[in-house]
C-alpha cells in the first residue's frame, strides 16, 4: 500500500484527522523533496554536559570463516543527546513514556518559526508569542496538529560543542555557562492554551534556553503531553509553511526520551 494511502487509512495526520487525499498524494509524490532533519550519531555528537556521550564498540567487521562478510556493533548513549525527543514523562510525572506516544503526535504539517535574525544577535533569545503572531500574520493560523519547529540558526555551530552549548566545560560546572536560544515559557503556555499543536522542535540543545534554571517551557508543554524534539538539523531547508514532518523516535519502554529520526517532506508542486 502506498504511504499516502496508508496515512489516510490510519488517520494519523495531525491529531487524528487525515487531510484530503490529493494533499497527501502531493506530499508523498515522487517529485516531493525529502529533507533529513537528523544529525548522525558519532564521537562528535553533542550531549548535555552531564550526560554520557555516544559510544560505538565494534563487535565484528570482516569475512567470516564461512566466507561471507559480517559486521556488527554495540552502541551506548544517554536518552537525551544528538537529535532526540523528550517524552512527556521527562518533566511531567505520570505522563506518557517514550513507547506510549501516539503516532498522531509525531506526524503532521510543519510550521517553521524563523527567529534566526534575532537569535544571531542574542544567544539567550527567547521565542515569543509575538514571533508566533508574526508567522500567522503571513501564513494564517497554525493548523491543528501542527509540528512547530523553531529555527534559530543554531545549527550553524554543529558539531562545535563550545559554540553550540556556549561552553566546552563538562559536568555540573558547565550548567551556569550554557548559552543558546529557547522558547519563552509564556509562549509555551500560549501554544497549549490557544493552539492545538502536536509537537514542538528546535535546532538547539533544549527547548528552554541555556540560562534556564527551572525548564518551565518543558514543564508546560510536556504536562500537556506535547513532546519536544531537540537538536533538529537542517531547518534552513524547510519552508515556513507547506511542509510535513515524520518524527519517529526509538521506542524505549518506560523511556523519558530517545534518539529521533526526523525527516521533512516538501511538495514541489
User: What is the domain-level CATH number for residue 13?
Assistant: 3.50.30.50
Domain membership of residue 220 as a residue range: 3-51+79-266
Specify if 83 maps to a domain: yes
Specify if 68 maps to a domain: no
User: For position 15, what pLDDT does the model report?
Assistant: 44
Specify if 59 maps to a domain: no
List 84, 90, 139, 157, catalytic entry: 90
Specify if 65 maps to a domain: no
pLDDT interval class at 269 (50, 70, 90): low
Cβ-Cβ contacts under 8 Å for 119 (sequence gap 6 or more): 125, 152, 153, 154, 181
Specify if 231 maps to a domain: yes
Specify if 62 maps to a domain: no
Specify if 56 maps to a domain: no
pLDDT interval class at 10 (50, 70, 90): very low
pLDDT interval class at 29 (50, 70, 90): confident
On whether the CB atoms of residues 153 and 116 are closer than 8 A, the answer is yes
Write down the pTM of the prediction. Answer: 0.91
User: How many domains does the chain fold into?
Assistant: 1
Backbone φ and ψ for 204, nearest 5 degrees, come out as: -130, 175
pLDDT interval class at 23 (50, 70, 90): low
Q: What number is the average pLDDT over the span 246-250?
A: 97
The question of whether 90 is a catalytic residue gets the answer yes
Specify if 71 maps to a domain: no
Per-residue pLDDT tens over the stretch 85-133: 999 999 999 999 999 999 999 999 999 999 999 999 999 999 999 999 9
Per-residue pLDDT tens over the stretch 43-60: 999 999 999 999 999 999
CA–CA dist 151, 105 (Å, integer) = 20
Amino acid at each position: 500500500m502506498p504511504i499516502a494511502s496508508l496515512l489516510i487509512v490510519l488517520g494519523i495526520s495531525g491529531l487524528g484527522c487525515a487531510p484530503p487525499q490529493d494533499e497527501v498524494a502531493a506530499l508523498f509524490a515522487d517529485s516531493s523533496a525529502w529533507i533529513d532533519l537528523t544529525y548522525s550519531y558519532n564521537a562528535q555528537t553533542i550531549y548535555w554536559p552531564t550526560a554520557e556521550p555516544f559510544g560505538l564498540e565494534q563487535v565484528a567487521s570482516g569475512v567470516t570463516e564461512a566466507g561471507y562478510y559480517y559486521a556488527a556493533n554495540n552502541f551506548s548513549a544517554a536518552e537525551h543527546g544528538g537529535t532526540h525527543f523528550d517524552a512527556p514523562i521527562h518533566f511531567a510525572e505520570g505522563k506518557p513514556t517514550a513507547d506510549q506516544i501516539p503516532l498522531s503526535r509525531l506526524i503532521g504539517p510543519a510550521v517553521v518559526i524563523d527567529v534566526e535574525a534575532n537569535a544571531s544577535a542574542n544567544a539567550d533569545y527567547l521565542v515569543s508569542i509575538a514571533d508566533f503572531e508574526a508567522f500567522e500574520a503571513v501564513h494564517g493560523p497554525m493548523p491543528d496538529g501542527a509540528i512547530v519547529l523553531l529555527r534559530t540558526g543554531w545549527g550553524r555551530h554543529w558539531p562545535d560543542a563550545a559554540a553550540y552549548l556556549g561552553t566546552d566545560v563538562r559536568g555540573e560546572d558547565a550548567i551556569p555557562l550554557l548559552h543558546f536560544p529557547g522558547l519563552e515559557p509564556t509562549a509555551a503556555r500560549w501554544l497549549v492554551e490557544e493552539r492545538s499543536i502536536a509537537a514542538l522542535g528546535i535546532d538547539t540543545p533544549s527547548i528552554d534556553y541555556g540560562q534556564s534554571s527551572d525548564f518551565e517551557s518543558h514543564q508546560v508543554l510536556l504536562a500537556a503531553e506535547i513532546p519536544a524534539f531537540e537538536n533538529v538539523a537542517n531547518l534552513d531547508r524547510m519552508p515556513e509553511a507547506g511542509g510535513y514532518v515524520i518524527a519517529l523516535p526509538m521506542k524505549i519502554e518506560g523511556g523519558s526520551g530517545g534518539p529521533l529520526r526526523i525527516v521533512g517532506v516538501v511538495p514541489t508542486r
